[in-house]
Amino acid sequence: MHPLIRIVFFLVLVIGLAYAGPLLVMVTAAALAAAMLVQREWWVALRGMLRRIRWLMLTIFLIYLWMTPGAPLLEEWNAAWMPSREGVLQGGLRILSLLAVVMAVTVLLAVTTRRQLCAALYQLVTPLRVLGLSRERFALRMLLVLETLPRIERELGPLLAASKPAAEAMGAARVNYSAALQRIAERMGALVQRIHAEAEQEPLRTLSLELLPAPLWYEWLPPLGLAAVLWWL
């Protein structure tokens, strides 16, 4: 499948999941989970992504629990703090939708190289040229970000490991919270300064982006078919 078609297919899927009902969301999540069985590395990448957004998912679920009006979860405890049944259902649906999106992102990144992704985005933003957007600058910045992120993650690993004792100390009795937070902030500041210094010393180099041929007309059928199915359902 053409990289541009993959991205369009993914965008259609994300938009459809935002308005889909429970059955469609469950079927989509189950299909993506089955697709993840193709490669074990995909499951490893998925666990890493879920670990990064676990607090976001928990926050979304808690917001739906207590912000969605409806019948109390336990009728015999009709208290003001009791979450609603509708909140549990809507919260679970949103979390399942988010999980399906994360699985789709994992598959997309697994089957698309960085340069293919940038070249496809270059084609995707072509209509925005009428608004003054430079496709070349956009693609170049995306390529630089995607190439730099692994280096930053390698730098963050030792920093987070060194900051973990300070973060754990914040939960201990009689702890100096200011000192613990200050140590974490100092390490983060040192990391930012080191990255900035390395960026200034980085030698100039030429980046080339191999442009992709335009997709053939029949390659647009899968995203169009998915959009039609989601619209009909």
Give the chain as a DSSP string.
--HHHHHHHHHHHHHHHHH--HHHHHHHHHHHHHHHTT-HHHHHHHHHHHHHSHHHHHHHHHHHHHHS-SSBSSGGG--TTPPBHHHHHHHHHHHHHHHHHHHHHHHHHHHS-HHHHHHHHHHHTGGGGGGT--HHHHHHHHHHHHHHHHHHHHHHHHHHHHHHHHHHHTTSTT--HHHHHHHHHHHHHHHHHHHHHHHHHSPP------PPPPPPGGGGHHHHHHHHHHHH-
pTM above 0.85, yes or no: no
Domain limits, the chain: 3-112+208-232
Residue 161: which pLDDT band, with cuts at 50, 70 and 90?
Answer: low
pLDDT digits (tens, 9 = 90+) for 125-150: 888 888 888 888 888 788 777 777 77
Q: What percent of the chain stands above pLDDT 90?
A: 24
